[in-house]
Chains A and B, each alone.
Chain A
Amino acid sequence: MITKEIEFTVNGQLITLDVDIRKSLLDVLREEGLTSIKQGCGVGECGACTALIDDIPMDTCMYLAVWADGKDIRTSEGESRDGQVSKVQQAYIDAGAVQCGYCTPGFIMTSTAFVEKYKGQKVDRDLIRKEHSGNLCRCTGYETIVCAVESCLKD
């Protein structure tokens, strides 16, 4: 097994790890206890494993852990602080966009990046859809997810 030492920030914390170079970022984050990173397909089709890497939503199942060296990673766990959920997380709850919850952490990260990117701008439902098209959900028919994102951009 060949390993490589990497240093990266996860949810604001700097960590150094010696990782198996074959491992995906999904594997490594989960081993770190960040199990909001879900595996729905393992090949970049479903988005359940989405994390923000330098604020861009990525499928961590398709991203080698060694590439994360020097990067800033955010996951759903880190979006709630001091017992307070984030604005996007609250919007998902209020809109009823959570059902089985398996797609939810991944979706929330995609929405978080979206909301940060388009803050203060006028966006329509088509754009919301377009930029969430890498995340699959089978429970909600996406309706309430689009509503949740819309509500985050309202005020």
Chain B
Amino acid sequence: MSVGKPIERLDAVAKVTGKARYTEDFTLQGMKHAVYVRSDIAHGMVKSINVDEASALTGVRAIFTYEDVPDILFATAGHPYSTDPGHRDPYDRNLLTKHVRYEGDEVAIVVADSELIARKAARLIKVEYDKLPVLNTPERILADDAEMIHPTGNIVGAHEFVVGGDMAEAIKSSEHTLENKYSTAMVQHFHLENHIAYAYMEDNENITVVSSTQIPHIARRIISEALDFPMGKIKVIKPYIGGGFGAKQDVVVEPMAAFLTLKMGGAPIQINLTREECLSCTRTRHPFLGTAKGGIDKNGKLTFMDVEVVSLTGAYASHGHAIAQAGGAKACTMYPRSVIRFNATTVYSNMPAAGAMRAYGTPQVIFFVENMMEELALKAGIDPLEFRLKNAGLPGDINPLNKKPILSHGLKECLEKGRKLIDWDKKKKRYKKFKDGTIRRGLGVACFSYASGTYPVLVEIASVRMALVQDGSVHVLTGATEIGQGSDTVFAQMASETTGISTDKIKVISTQDTDFSPFDTGSYASRQTYVGGQAIYKTAEKLKDNILAYAEEMTGVLANRLQIVGDKIVLIEQPDKTVVTLKDLSIDAHYHKDRGGQITAEVSYKTRTNAPSFGCTFVDIEVDIELCKVDIKEIINIHDSGKIINPILAKGQVHGGMGMSIGAALAEEMLIDDETGKVYNNNLLDYKMPTIMDTPDLKCDFVETEEPTASYGNKSLGEPPIISPAPAIRNAILDATGVAPSELPMSPKRLFELFKLEGLI
């Protein structure tokens, strides 16, 4: 039995010794380096471009401008291909552009012997622009006479739904209603390993791209589309990757690397972005601006919630409107017994492009909802925790959006557990005396709901191949990608659980190579343990059956009398009696002259369910009014992610998400000038990613429900931990100070303005 155990991660030693090889750690003889020439204005048309001085530099091998790239528009978002043309991501990018749409847009690229020379040459290229107006606020972007950022217009997508009943009636039945404005900031993934890829050719018609990507199979398709090059002749390899958080669920440098090698006779070409480029020229999180309304009846029931947002996708759509769509949909299951309206519009702007980022639009929507919930409870004069407990979903409630019953729903238990762990009731009373003066104390709570994958919006496909090796060990090949979250280890545990083979005999091949890794769309949407887990289960069952059938053939003992334990096949009734070892069986299967063959199993499976997952954050803070500073005294996340497969890895996911959310709550934001589109802080000194000093002790716990649609009872966990800490902190600030922040981040600068406005300082 392996599921549920804190098994050491498979790649732990490789990583602590520094022997794990990431994309930059591979070099090829004669590798050349490519560096983009980026616009220094946020909106305009290239008027002229002069490469003479750069070309003359020793070591420069080639320069390509927007005039040299194929006239093909492509979409970069790492989504599975949609067979419905109306459902595809916007095809809005060329490899290089004449129309620059954000500060840092790509107009040319230099290839040189070293990165240093390429950067020097890139600086020598002179570009003149005809400037266009910079559009960075919804008012300007949506104005009737606004300049078009793309020929398709400035609106990328819009939708609305009302579910769970009649809105007018819900409003009528409310004792109190309210409406407030909220907004979230543009923040950065800040994966430690920057975006990097290199490409080369080994003949005249096949391209290999090695990339730090979450989505090797999708990357292959997009490269093929961007270059109009046959998909079967492209191979994408994903080695170890230094974090992604969604920024690498997008194709950023891969098509260009492939284009360059194609142009340069197959020479190996690397594109390795700098931290500065990574911060402002890859992907960010969509800022949301808008309102949330809600109503409460005289019994404390949430009658309705109504969220209206504008989402800024920046210069290119990338994941575009899918972010707001997913955010709205995923927030529907935490309080499923109310009427829910969600209205969203996604617009282009002259800012860095926003894409997928951990929890995909949901942190933004939940920030709106959970702020509104807090204020509604206060208005009605009930404890905000009681209000949430009363309205939290229960198993058997219907998901108002897809009308399907929610089979496991542990939100209420999470709230109850958190209440105890943080000592809510006692502290609530105790902190009543800390509501004035310089140092104030407050408690906050916020809930979330999420999903386990993207079905039914997108296909959920996972494929696995298992093979018995001659020594009796098992190799597991999957297209699902380990990006640090621990999926390889979890897959080994699942395979062990189902086959009976011990985990130390199971090797999950960590590198994906689209030439031989079975098809899977990759790491995103917290899908891998849920969706990939189904394929692992089915493959492991098959492998076990194939092994036992061969044991019967070999030994004459009927397969239904046999089971695998560790590295042996034993009698079910007498487990201490070895019938044959896996090693002996495998040698026989491989080398017996008259029977056998390699024992393998392969399954490709589409998951057609999507279990919501739940949880909440409790936080205890101190606010220093004079310093406008929030000090987190205690913070706890409690999650219902179904059965926990590996408690150490699970906690790691929770801590990581909490840390990121605390950063987004208190410090992180990309600062962009409304007038010029200039990015002020695309470096780590000015972009306040939390250091170890800024991050408090993090606690977490689980409510282990059993999800019947998952092979191992599990639900999503990778992204959810980032959702609720920020609104919980915000609600604690409100509790401590009586001041209700409505914008992220709640940095000292912003709190100063608020406290001043409210007369606290």
Contact of A140 among B25, B191, B659 (CB under 8 A): B659
A38 touches B22 (CB 8 A): yes
A96 touches B658 (CB 8 A): no
Complex Cα distance, B191 from A26, in Å, reads 20
Within 8 A of A (CB), among B443-477: none
Interface membership of chain A positions 85-111, coded 1 if the CB is closer than 8 angstroms to chain B and 0 otherwise: 100011011101011111111001000
Q: Which residue of B lies closest to A94 (CB)?
A: B8
Within 8 A of B (CB), among A100-140: 100-105, 108, 125, 129-130, 132-133, 135-140
CB distance from A114 to the nearest CB of B (A): 12
> What is the size category of the interface that chain A forms with chain B?
35 or more
Which of B136-144, B178-186, B394-402, B646-654 interfaces with chain A?
B646-654
Within 8 A of B (CB), among A53-84: 75-77, 79-80
Q: Which residue of A lies closest to B25 (CB)?
A: A35
Q: Which residue of B lies closest to A79 (CB)?
A: B17
A138 touches B17 (CB 8 A): no
Name the B residues within 8 Å of A38 (CB-CB): 22, 24, 192-193, 242
Which of B13, B21, B692 lies at the interface centre, i.e. has the most chain A CB atoms within 10 A of its CB? Answer: B692
CB distance from B71 to the nearest CB of A (A): 35
CB distance from A77 to the nearest CB of B (A): 5
Name the A residues within 8 Å of B659 (CB-CB): 138, 140-143
User: Given known contacts A41-B275, A142-B659, is B692 in contact with A102 (CB within 8 Å)?
Assistant: no
User: Given known contacts A42-B274, A45-B684, A100-B192, is B18 in contact with A93 (CB within 8 Å)?
Assistant: no
Name the B residues within 8 Å of A145 (CB-CB): 692
Question: Is A152 part of the binding interface, using a Cβ–Cβ cutoff of 8 Å?
Answer: no
A89 touches B698 (CB 8 A): no
User: Given known contacts A40-B193, A101-B11, A102-B242, is B16 in contact with A144 (CB within 8 Å)?
Assistant: no
Interface membership of chain B positions 680-697, coded 1 if the CB is closer than 8 angstroms to chain A and 0 otherwise: 000111000101110101
B19 touches A77 (CB 8 A): yes
Complex Cα distance, B659 from A136, in Å, reads 12
B691 touches A85 (CB 8 A): no
Name the B residues within 8 Å of A129 (CB-CB): 692-693
CB distance from A122 to the nearest CB of B (A): 18
A138 touches B656 (CB 8 A): yes
Complex Cα distance, B245 from A65, in Å, reads 34
CB distance from B652 to the nearest CB of A (A): 5
Which of B32-40, B321-329, B480-488 interfaces with chain A?
B480-488
Within 8 A of A (CB), among B683-730: 683-685, 689, 691-693, 695, 697-698
A45 touches B683 (CB 8 A): yes
CB distance from B706 to the nearest CB of A (A): 24
CB distance from B482 to the nearest CB of A (A): 9
User: Given known contacts A40-B275, A101-B240, A139-B243, is B22 in contact with A96 (CB within 8 Å)?
Assistant: no
Question: Is B354 part of the binding interface, using a Cβ–Cβ cutoff of 8 Å?
Answer: no
Complex Cα distance, B662 from A77, in Å, reads 33
Question: Is B20 part of the binding interface, using a Cβ–Cβ cutoff of 8 Å?
Answer: yes
Name the B residues within 8 Å of A94 (CB-CB): 8
CB distance from A1 to the nearest CB of B (A): 11
B191 touches A138 (CB 8 A): yes
User: Given known contacts A35-B21, A100-B193, A138-B689, is B655 in contact with A144 (CB within 8 Å)?
Assistant: yes
Listed in ascending order, the chain A residues whose CB lies under 8 Å from chain B are: 34-43, 45-46, 48, 75-77, 79-80, 85, 89-90, 92-94, 96, 98-105, 108, 125, 129-130, 132-133, 135-146
Known contacts A96-B9, A100-B484, A129-B692; 9 additional CB pairs below 8 A are: A40-B193, A90-B16, A99-B243, A99-B485, A99-B652, A138-B243, A139-B652, A142-B659, A144-B651
